Amino acid sequence: MNDNDTPLIGEIAEEAVEETSEQTETPKKHKGFSSKLGFVLAAAGSAVGLGNLWKFPYLAAQYGGGIFLLCYIALAVTIGFVLLTLEIAIGRKTGKSVIGAFTALNRKFRWFGFVCLVVPIIIVPYYNVIGGWVVRYMFAFISGAGELIGETATAATSDAFFNAFISNPWQPILFFLIFAAATVAVVVTGVQKGIERISKILMPLLALIAVFLMIYVMCQPGAMEGVKVFLVPDFSKFSFSTLLAALGQLFYSMSLAMCIMITYGSYMKKNTSITKSARQISICDTAFAIVAALIIIPSLFAFTPDAQSAMEKGPPLMFIQLPLVFNKLPGGRAIGAIFFLLVFFAALTSSISLVEAIVSVLRETLGMRRWTACALILGFIVAVGSIASLGFGPLSVINIAGKTILDMFDYFANNLLMPVVAIITCVIAGYFSDSDSLMDEINLKKGGVYRKYFLAMVRYVAPLCMLAILISGIFMEF
Ligand code: PHE
C-alpha cells in the first residue's frame, strides 16, 4: 500500500510522530496481532464485505454514479477517517474489549459498552444468513444450475430460483450453517493463528480475484458506457440525500459503531502508527468498493437492455440480475463461481470480526475460555439466524410494513442503533473522557493544527452528521 496517497490523510499522518515505541500503561492487554500488516489486513477484511460488493454498486447507480462516488470519497477522507482512527485509538489505549474500553474511558459509561455490544449481536445472525445465500450461489455456479447458467436460464428462472431457495425451510439453513461454522472455526483458533493468518491469505487473494474480474468485464463490448456512468460526475444529480446515502454507506462499510475497530484496536501493537493503519484500511475499503462497482455496473450496461432500471432494483441485484449477466459472459459459469467465491471470502472476514468482538467481551467480562465463548455464539447464531432465515418462508407471516424479520434486524441495527452508538462514542471521547490522552494515543502533536481538526471533528462535525443520518433514516421509513 502506498503511503503517499490521499493528501489530507497523508498530511495528518505526517504530523503524527509515526512509529513510536513509547509504552503507555495498559493493564492486562490482550494477546494481539503479531504484525502491523496482520492488523491492517484483518481490519480491512472486516471493512471489505457485502457492503462493498453488493450495496455500494447499487447505491452508486441509484444516486447518480460519479457524483455519489465523489461525495463518498470526500466523506471517507474526512469523517470516515476520523471515526475509524478514533475507534482504533480507543481500543488500543485501553487494551480492552468494548465494555472494558468504555469503562476505562469513564467509569460512568460502562453501560454504554453493553449498548454497543447489541450491534454485533443483532447483525451477526442475519449476516450469516446472507453469507449462506452466497455459499448456495457459489455451489450453484460450480454445479452449473440450469436456472442460472446455460441456454435454459432466463430472467424468470433466475428469479424463481432465488425465491424458491430463500422460501425453502431447510436449504437456506443448511448453507447458513456452513457459513457460520466456517466463521467460528477461524475465531476459535485465536487472533494470531486464526484471524490474522486467514486475513493474510484471503485479502491478497480477494484483491487478485477482484482486479481480474474488473479487467475481464471492462474488456467486454459496451462495458465502457457503464464505466462512464460510474466515474463521470453529473453535478445536476447532487442533492442532500446523495450526501446522506454516501455517509450511511461509508459508515457501514468501514465497520464503524460495531465494536469491531475498538476490539481489533485493542489487539494492535503499541509501536504501530494508528493514523497510518487507518489510512491503509480506508484506502483498501474504498478501493474494493470502486472495483466492485467497476465489475457490476459495466457488466450490466454491456448485457442488460435496461441497465439503469436493473441497477436501481437494489437488493435483488446480486442474486437475480447478476447471475444472468454472468451467463452472457464468455466462460460465465466459471466467472460466476469465482465472483461468488470473492463475495464469500469478503463476507467471511467480516463475519469473523463480528464474532471476535463478542468473544472478546465474553472472555474479558465473564472469564470464559475462547472455545466456550465460540460455542455459545455459534448456538446463538444458529438459533436466531434460523428464525431470520425462516422469515422468508414459513415465518413470512411475521412482518412489519412489508419488512421481513431479516429486514427488521437490519433496519434496527443500521438505521437506528449504529448512528446512536457513533454519536455517543464521539460525545464520550470528546467531552467525557481524557480526550487529550486519546489524541496522544493517535500521536497528534500537542497544539498542532491536526489535533485541533481531529477534536473539532469528534466533538462537533461527526456527531451532527450522524444525527442527520439518524433523523433521515427515521423519516425516510415512516
Ligand atoms: N464493513 C462490512 C461490509 O462492508 C460491514 C460489516 C462488517 C458487516 C462486519 C458485518 C460485519 O460489509
Q: 3 pLDDT exceeds 70?
A: no
Residue 257 has pLDDT above 90, yes or no: yes
Give the residue, 12 or 168, on which the prediction is more confident.
168
pLDDT at position 7, please?
A: 38
What pLDDT is attached to residue 307? 78
Per-residue burial over 139-167, b = 16 or more CB atoms within 10 Å of its CB, e = otherwise: ebbeeebebbbeeebeeebbbebbeebbe
3 burial level (CB within 10 Å; 0-12, 13-18, 19+):
middle
Helix segments in 144-239, DSSP class H: 155-167, 171-188, 197-218, 223-231
Query: Cell match 464468455: residue?
Result: 330
The residue with greater pLDDT, 17 or 214, is: 214
- How many Å apart are CA 468 and CA 8, to the nearest integer? 24
pLDDT of residue 230: 92
Between the CA of 267 and the centroid of ligand 1 the distance, in Å, is: 19
The protein residue with its alpha carbon nearest to ligand 1, atom 11, reads 350
Q: How far is the CA of 22 from the centre of ligand 1 (A)?
A: 32
Candidate from 115-124, 266-275, 395-404, 452-461 with smallest mean pLDDT: 395-404
Does 2 score more than 70 pLDDT? no
Cα of 50 from ligand 1 centre, angstroms: 6
Residue 181 has pLDDT above 90, yes or no: yes
Question: Shortest CA distance to 314 belongs to which of 395, 410, 232?
Answer: 410
Q: Which cell numbers hold the place of 432?
A: 467525557
- In sequence order, what are the beta bridge partners of 108? none
Pocket test for ligand 1, best of 46, 53, 187, 349 (most atoms within 8 A of CB): 46
State which of 48, 258, 285 you would mutate to test the pocket of ligand 1, scoring each by most atoms of that ligand within 8 A of its C-beta: 258
- pLDDT exceeds cutoff 80 at 265: yes
CA distance 334 to 327: 10
pLDDT at 325 over 90: no
Kindly tell me if the per-residue pLDDT of 322 is higher than 90: no
Q: Is the CB of 350 under 6 A from ligand 1?
A: yes
Please work out whether the CB of residue 52 comes within 6 Å of at least one atom of ligand 1.
Answer: yes
| Global model pTM greater than 0.85 | yes
Cα–Cα distance measured from residue 84 to residue 98, given in angstroms and rounded to the nearest whole number? 15
Which DSSP string corresponds to 289-323? HHHHHHHHHHHHHHH-TTHHHHHHT-THIIIIIHH
Residue 305 has pLDDT above 80, yes or no: no
Pocket test for ligand 1, best of 48, 133, 252 (most atoms within 8 A of CB): 252
More confident residue, 84 or 322: 84
pLDDT value of residue 23:
38
Average pLDDT, the chain: 88
Q: Decide which of 29 and 470 is more confident.
A: 470
**Contact in structure between 310 and 321 (CB atoms under 8 Å):** yes
Confirm if 450 and 111 have CB atoms less than 8 A apart.
no
| Pocket of ligand 1 contains residue 47 by CB under 6 Å | yes
Distance (angstroms) between ligand 1 centre and the Cα of 331 equals 30
Is the CB of 59 inside a 6 Å radius of any atom of ligand 1? no
Q: What is the pLDDT of residue 6?
A: 38
Using CB atoms within 10 Å of the CB of residue 18, give its burial: 0 to 12 exposed, 13 to 18 middle, 19+ buried: middle
Predicted pLDDT of residue 302: 84
Which pLDDT does position 21 carry in this prediction?
38
Mean pLDDT score, 238-262: 91
